[in-house]
Amino acid sequence: MRINHNIQALNAYRNLAANQSSISKNLERLSSGLRINRAADDAAGLAISEKMRSQIRGLQMAERNALDAISLIQTAEGALNEVHSILQRMRELAVQAANDTLEPSDRAAIQAEVDQLTKEIDRIADTTQFNQKILFSGSPEGKAFAETRSSAISYVGNGTWQGVVTAKPTNPAEFVLDFSRGFGMLSQDEIDKKTFTINGKVYEIDAKGDGISDTGHIAVNVTWNDNATDDSDAVANINSLLDALKNAILNNDSTFDSTSSVVGASDNNDNNDAIITNGQLRLVTAKPMSPKEANGINVSYDFDPTTEVKSLIVVEEQALVPETFTLTFSDVPKNGDVLKIDNLTIMFSDSMESGYSPSQGQGTATIDVRGKTVFDVLNDIEQVLEAAKADGTHQPVQALTGFSVVGNSLILSTDRTDDGGLFGSSNGLEFQIIDSDFEENKGKSLKLEMQIGANESETLEFELSVMDAASLGLARTADHKTPLSAGVNAQAGIDVSSSAQAASAAITVIDQAINTVSEERGKLGAIQNRLEHTINNLTTANENLTSAESRIRDTDMAMEMAEFTKNNILTQAAQAMLAQSNQLPQGILQLLKS
């Protein structure tokens, strides 16, 4: 018998600890409903379960994708249903116009309706959208490798979008009228009835006190020394006019703020040296103005600008708050595509290595797009912009305040305000996209790819044909005879008014258009039916895979409760045995008593 080591107690304690650990796991599984709460519970099972979860969630999203695809098809098919109705009405009108009981005026009335119906087909093709994706204008006009929603940038033809992005002004403009000594030396006769035209209002000087010449003018009543002989006389005359003109302008034009001020003319110590400090009227606008807005405030006068009065506009070309716009890349640029930002031209190539090349006030860069993703190209663009921004010698991107890349978007900002200059000669941030093969894609079908599976390449591809009036063979120029190529550009409808024979020929053309729309609707209906089967399959696969994942991950509550009950009883028994084993060393006391 031993005192220092109670082996029986240690054995009971070990079993008690193991039972309590088992109970803890039983309680965790029962309370969470999961058999695997951590990787240690079943490492292999966790790995299998997570793969199944990826598939399950992928199947759920694929089912939603398929439902969205059906919604898109239903939207398209609904629009074509109306096109069918329009075509049936046009055929009815053509049959009517082919009857020789009609007079030319009757056919003209029929032609007017046909023209409007043709333009409505174009409108439907141009405006039928699903999630802002235009469905029937083809592959598509207005869709380049990148696009921006900035209203300052627009399509100018030949696959080119361009514009000037500017910030809203945050500083007022200042108009300065500078009066020199020659003005102050003029006589009353020379100054009386002379005018200043500022912001469309005419201010007329009344130096003699006999009134102004035109009732539409605003009087500037001034006290004038008619016999100015030295510098002090000139200074007094100028300052008198400055105060009177300022008051007249502020009283009659709310464009200018009360902070407008007069900087009076002054003379040095020599009154006869014909040298004075010019007087100035500084008119400050009440609201912030860009150079373009300031230039819209015309300032003119009847005086000699070389010796008497000069005018100057002081306006900030930079704003305190920059304007930001986003360029979103939907595809990798192709060989020959171009992106111009300020005076930096970025060319995309599949045969030249990437690099930046500066020149005076300009910059060019080449980005190699071979084997790259959109994100790779955006990273290259960001590096080019960093190099151009750091080029303090040539400064090709002076108007670019900041830039960053977020996802598949390039975010640009500028603090330059609008000076009214056209693209190529403006103060703002000039921007241009050239998609080299954009025009080649006009009129092609819109290709769509639907992700209808949980894994890569599990897709459904289909096309939406161009359904504008030109593609249906119905669009004509204003003469009703010359056909137009693909595009929402119908000027008139097919000829049904020139003769019965022309109307009869139109019936065949309209029949062909009806057949084209019928084929497109039939194709869309078949795809919709296929997608409905796809959804049923996805739902079944999702259900079965969820069941399999549940068997791995979820707790069998009945079995776990039985296990919990067993472990609970064992724990209680182990506690009792631990108490008993703790009493065993007491027997040594009996030996000591003897």
Tell me: do 491 and 503 sit in the same domain: yes
Instruction: Give the model's confidence band at 58: pLDDT under 50 very low, under 70 low, under 90 confident, else very high.
Output: very high
Tell me: do 250 and 307 sit in the same domain: yes
What's the pLDDT at 439? Answer: 64
- Residues 207/219, Cβ–Cβ less than 8 Å: no
CA–CA separation, 228 and 521 (whole Å): 92
DSSP H or E run through 286: strand 279-288
Tell me: do 152 and 102 sit in the same domain: no
**What is the secondary structure of 304-363 as a DSSP string?**
-TTTTEEEEEE--SEEEEEEEEEEEESSPPPTT-EEEETTEEEEEESSS--EEEEETTEE
By residue count, the chain amounts to: 594
Boundary-marking domain end, from 441, 468, 488: 441
Query: For a pLDDT cut of 90, what percent of the chain falls above it?
Result: 61
Average pLDDT of the residues in 78-107: 95
Boundary-marking domain end, from 290, 315, 340: 315
553 in a domain, yes or no? no
Tell me: do 459 and 486 sit in the same domain: yes
pTM of the full predicted structure? 0.52
Tell me: do 239 and 133 sit in the same domain: no
CA–CA separation, 420 and 418 (whole Å): 6
Assign 3-state DSSP to the chain and report helix, strand, coil percentages, each to 5: 45, 25, 35
Tell me: do 361 and 418 sit in the same domain: yes
CA distances in angstroms from 74 to 85, 529, 537, 589, listed in the order given: 17, 11, 21, 94
203 vs 156, higher pLDDT:
203
Chain-centroid distance of CA 357 in Å reads 30
Question: Where in the sequence is the domain holding 468, given as residue range(s)?
Answer: 69-139+443-539
528 in a domain, yes or no? yes
Tell me: do 116 and 156 sit in the same domain: no
347 in a domain, yes or no? yes
User: For residue 168, is pLDDT > 90?
Assistant: yes
Average pLDDT of the residues in 110-130: 92
- Residues 469/453, Cβ–Cβ less than 8 Å: no
Helix, coil or strand: residue 364: strand
User: For residue 139, is pLDDT > 70?
Assistant: no
What's the pLDDT at 142? Answer: 45
What's the pLDDT at 403? Answer: 95
Tell me: do 205 and 130 sit in the same domain: no
Average pLDDT of the residues in 24-45: 84
Nearest Cα to Cα of residue 262 among 277, 246, 275: 246
SS3 readout for 18-78: HHHHHHHHHHHHHHHCECCCCHHHCHHHHHHHHHHHHHHHHHHHHHHHHHHHHHHHHHHHH
CA–CA separation, 174 and 398 (whole Å): 24
33 in a domain, yes or no? no
∠ Cα 304 309 315 (to 5°):
125
User: For residue 2, is pLDDT > 80?
Assistant: no
- Give the pLDDT confidence of 368-396 residue by residue, as tens digits: 999 999 999 999 999 999 999 999 888 89
Average pLDDT of the residues in 109-113: 95
440 vs 10, higher pLDDT:
10
Average pLDDT of the residues in 109-118: 95
Tell me: do 431 and 473 sit in the same domain: no
Q: Which two tokens stand for residue 588?
A: 């040594």
What's the pLDDT at 591? Answer: 77
- Give the pLDDT confidence of 445-466 residue by residue, as tens digits: 888 999 999 998 899 999 998 8
Chain-centroid distance of CA 531 in Å reads 32
Chain-centroid distance of CA 423 in Å reads 20
Instruction: Give the model's confidence band at 143: pLDDT under 50 very low, under 70 low, under 90 confident, else very high.
Output: low
Tell me: do 180 and 309 sit in the same domain: yes
Number of structural domains in the chain = 3
What's the pLDDT at 553? Answer: 84
Tell me: do 278 and 385 sit in the same domain: no
- Give the pLDDT confidence of 422-449 residue by residue, as tens digits: 888 888 999 999 988 776 556 678 889 9
- Give the pLDDT confidence of 479-533 residue by residue, as tens digits: 898 888 766 778 899 999 999 999 999 999 999 999 999 999 999 999 999 999 9
One-letter identity of residue 172 = P
Average pLDDT of the residues in 563-587: 86
CA–CA separation, 324 and 414 (whole Å): 7
Boundary-marking domain end, from 315, 334, 366: 315
Average pLDDT of the residues in 323-351: 92
Tell me: do 182 and 85 sit in the same domain: no
206 in a domain, yes or no? yes
